[in-house]
Chain A
Amino acid sequence: MPPHVPRDRRYDADQHLWARHDAGTGRVRVGVDALGLESLGELAYVALHDLGTTVRRGEPIGSLEAAKMTSTIVAPVSGELVARNDAVLRDPLRVNGDPYGDGWLVEIAATRWEEEAAELLADDAIEPWVAAEVERLART
């Protein structure tokens, strides 16, 4: 069965991060998508930058380790880190257990959502991407 990839949010296809925009607050909640976790396996560690950090899309907001591989987590959108899920710092397996819910990572007060949202996958673009990624993972 293919990993669950809900359509109520957008995806940074290269980084395997999801981004859900709250139009009321302007905040974008960010997490790792199920395809990324399928590739990584169980997370052993997560580190996230301090609140108040200002980042541009593509800049580091944290890092993680899975199976002795460490990766940088980069911001899918520009803005200021305004919330951080400290529970995943203590228990990174929360990310694996509930990637779209309790396993979220950070919230960013987005400053360029309108432009940058276009660079994230949404709606009908999601399914073909998921199918291609599932096929690629099956090959490797």
Chain B
Amino acid sequence: MTRLLTDDGVGAAEGLACDEALAQRVGRGASPPTLRLYTYRAHCALVGRFQDVAHEVELERCAREHVGVNRRPTGGGAILMGPDQLGVALVVAGAERRRPRELMERLSRGLLRGLAELGVAASFRGKNDLAVGGRKLAGLGVYRDPSGALLFHASVLVDLDVALMARVLRMPFPAVGERELAVLAGRTVTVRRLVGAGVALDDVRAAVRRGFGADAEPTSLTAAERGDVAALVRDKYATREWVFQRTDVPDTAGAAELCTPEGRLDVRVALAGGTIKAAHLRGDFFASESAVADLEGRLRWHSSDPGAIAATVRAWSRGDGALAPEPLARAIAAAVERAREPSDPYGCFATPEASRA
């Protein structure tokens, strides 16, 4: 069985240090495989392992609104965590090497089972999300410890304060209006929106616990584990060297426009070096906003290679009457090309319409 840990209201440094300490200890056989289901204090902005904090987070607003800022050991983009986002940390001992997508798909099965128990029919999308109807419900990430132990992270949106997210995570527009907030809200979905406002976070936690088949009763960290967590807080997660470290990979952004007989399509992309970290599409001829959200999600943390973009767009289009995939893929590739030219970077947990920026 997998040990269960639960805690709530944890600080950013403490929450992340605990997960890494568990990975280290499970890897060397000092702690059992563990499922930790927890929430952060209101609120914490957590960037991906290699992201530039200043490009992803509105640091002054975070300070004003007492939003903690830190860096995850796992990859991916910036997220906002708080009392209504369930943090999932599954730590398992060394496993044979698999492709990241396969690992994440395998490690997220328990989460999918738990969500299904609540009546939420989520599915694995692209290489990095759980989605419902094309809208993101949970972000995923994995960290492989030197021992080979795996730390699987998921952030499940039980609910989401979209306005707060738009204030503290950097967006590619100078002001957030009702329209931008609506677009942001349309790119995500929450458990409460799907199941009902009465669902408590503890209900979601219990279902996810059962989905993973973890122990029914939570235990506490041992004294040795608490010592390891405290050391990691002190030596790593509470240090400026960790939180504000910089990467040499440039963040860039680019846009392209596609005119078709059906209408006009605006495409914006944000790159981290050669990787698409976010894409935003806007056009009035798509079948549904969820189709747009789905394609944007598939393109997140995606190769910027034109062939790979074309393959993903083809797989997404499924011949359902949306825009023909070839010109759409070419427009995205054109935006990527423009992003390779020097420009101002911006962060992208979600990228609403930005043509007025």
* Interface size range of chain A in the complex: 20 to 34
Contact A70 B146 (CB under 8 A): no
For the residues of B in contact with A, the DSSP-based class is loop
Question: Which residues from chain B contact A47 at a C-beta distance below 8 Å?
Answer: 50, 247
For the residues of A in contact with B, the DSSP-based class is mixed
Where the two chains meet, the residues of B that have a C-beta atom closer than 8 Å to any C-beta of A are 48-50, 73-76, 96-104, 127-128, 140-146, 148, 247-250, 272-275, 301, 303, 305
A41 to B248, CA, bound (A): 20
A45-B50, A74-B146, A92-B273 are known contacts. Are A68 and B247 too (CB-CB below 8 A)?
no
Question: Which residues from chain A contact B143 at a C-beta distance below 8 Å?
Answer: 69-71
Q: Which residue of A lies closest to B126 (CB)?
A: A67
Question: Which residues from chain A contact B275 at a C-beta distance below 8 Å?
Answer: 42, 44
The A/B interface has a contact count, at CB < 8 Å, of 108
Where the two chains meet, the residues of A that have a C-beta atom closer than 8 Å to any C-beta of B are 14, 16, 36, 39-42, 44-45, 47, 58-60, 63, 65-72, 74, 86, 89-93, 136-137, 140
Contact B101 A67 (CB under 8 A): yes
Q: Which residue of A lies closest to B245 (CB)?
A: A47
Q: Which residue of A lies closest to B275 (CB)?
A: A44
A41-B100, A42-B274, A92-B273 are known contacts. Are A65 and B49 too (CB-CB below 8 A)?
yes
B356 to chain A, nearest CB (A): 29
Q: Which residue of A lies closest to B99 (CB)?
A: A39
B208 to chain A, nearest CB (A): 20
Contact A45 B272 (CB under 8 A): yes
Q: Which residue of B lies closest to A45 (CB)?
A: B50
- Other-chain contact of B301, A16, A44, A137 (Cβ < 8 Å): A44
A66 to B74, CA, bound (A): 10
A32 to B130, CA, bound (A): 30
Q: Which residue of B lies closest to A42 (CB)?
A: B303
Question: Which residues from chain A contact B148 at a C-beta distance below 8 Å?
Answer: 14
A39-B97, A39-B98 are known contacts. Are A69 and B273 too (CB-CB below 8 A)?
no
- Other-chain contact of A68, B74, B96, B305 (Cβ < 8 Å): B74
- Other-chain contact of B75, A39, A42, A70, A74 (Cβ < 8 Å): A70
Question: Which residues from chain B contact A140 at a C-beta distance below 8 Å?
Answer: 96, 98-99, 102
Contact A67 B100 (CB under 8 A): yes
Contact B273 A70 (CB under 8 A): no
Q: Which residue of A lies closest to B103 (CB)?
A: A69
